[in-house]
Amino acid sequence: MELMVLLNALVTRLLFVLHSLIGVWRVTAAKKEPKYWLLALLNLLLCLETGLTLKFKQGRGYKWFSPAIFLYLICTVPSLWLLEIHHGTQYCGNEPGAVQVNVSNQNFNQSRDSSHGSEGTDHHIIQTAKVFVNQLSTICETVWTLALHQTFLLLLVVGRWLLPIGVEITRDQLSQLLLMFVGTAADILEFASETLDIEDVRKNYALINAILAVWTWSMLQFPLDLAVQHIGCKPTASTRRIPSLLLCRYSAELWNIGVSLFIQDGPFFIVRSILMGHFRIFNQMLVFFTAKNILVVTLQLYRLAVITLDFRATILQKSRKGEVGCCPCEPYEASTHAIADQDTEMKEVVAFPPKEESQAPSEDK
């Protein structure tokens, strides 16, 4: 097993576990009940996955699916749910700016003064760390929740980058996937923060659960890699049907459209429409992002229509040439082979002229 593959696999999963434990700590501190430390047991699943991946896959990933990302979601999402639900029952009077001033100026100066003439540099570092941890505990819970949301989404992207890739996915596909995840993470963070910060939403417990359910549903796209990988089908009898041929040729594009319509922009549009239509909640950002979801859904439907028309034109063109049974999964490859066959036939014609022409003079004699 390569050393870098082993280090990337272990360090990435260690970051996942640490972030999950921080979320459990914040839930325990907010609820003030030690029983919530039981949520930390979910990390045992990630540890088990780490051992199995190192044993059977030598630390590398799987095709189309990342178990480490999926288990990281399982370990962290419950803590964020509890923090968001607790958010609606607490009052936060501290401003983030004031907390930063207290941490950076007053308390660290006190720690420096108390450490002068004491046991030395080590004692000073320990005292500084204690003061810093104590001040972190006094930060407003809304700031903690937002910070956990942000670091959660950042770790999903960075973790997917650091995790060793399998032999089925290339570096080019991974870079495309990461760029897609950055835009997806920004949209998801905006959806959660913008809708849950509305005062009327915070007063409705069922609405909070519905928004968090849609948010959790949208997170399920991160463990999947289907948006950049094509399904490698062969021209068998099962792939000669029109839906199978369409999926064979445009698998990545169709998956991307399906994610947008059914996992992200579609559900986001429904939630925002309910907020405006049924609950009569209106603000500038809510209207803007609703219009943005409508535009994205419309463009995805337009893209689906373009793909269908292009596929139909390809099928009609092949049917005219008598190639209905062929699978148009690799049009460029097929056209290359066709050109090569034509060149071969031309060479054969030049090398071996027709027999009728060669026999014609002998008949005249």
**Model confidence pLDDT, tens digit, residues 248-280:** 778 888 888 999 999 999 999 999 999 999 999
Computed on alpha carbons and rounded to an integer, the radius of gyration of the chain in Å comes to 30
Distance, in Å, from the CA atom of 136 to the CA atom of 153, rounded to the nearest integer, reads 21
Q: What is the largest CA-CA distance in the chain?
A: 125
pLDDT over 60 at 90, yes or no? no
**Model confidence pLDDT, tens digit, residues 278-297:** 999 999 999 999 999 999 99
**This model's pTM is above 0.85:** no
Q: Which residue has the higher pLDDT, 286 or 347?
A: 286
Distance, in Å, from the CA atom of 344 to the CA atom of 338, rounded to the nearest integer, reads 10
Query: In 231-283, where does DSSP find H-type helix?
Result: 242-249, 251-262, 265-277
**Model confidence pLDDT, tens digit, residues 302-324:** 999 999 998 888 888 877 776 54
pLDDT over 80 at 158, yes or no? yes
Residue with the two structure tokens 């032999």: 167
In Å, how far from its chain's centre is CA 287? 25
In Å, how far from its chain's centre is CA 239? 29
- Give the angle subtended at the CA of 292 by the CAs of 205 and 228, to the nearest 5°: 95
- Identify the pLDDT of residue 101: 40
Query: In the chain, where does DSSP find H-type helix?
Result: 3-31, 43-56, 67-87, 96-101, 108-115, 121-137, 141-162, 171-196, 199-202, 205-219, 242-249, 251-262, 265-277, 284-320, 331-351, 355-364
164 Cβ neighbours under 8 A, 6+ residues apart: 5, 8, 9, 59, 60, 61
114 Cβ neighbours under 8 A, 6+ residues apart: 127
**Model confidence pLDDT, tens digit, residues 25-69:** 999 988 889 999 999 999 999 999 999 988 888 888 787 888 999
Distance, in Å, from the CA atom of 16 to the CA atom of 168, rounded to the nearest integer, reads 24
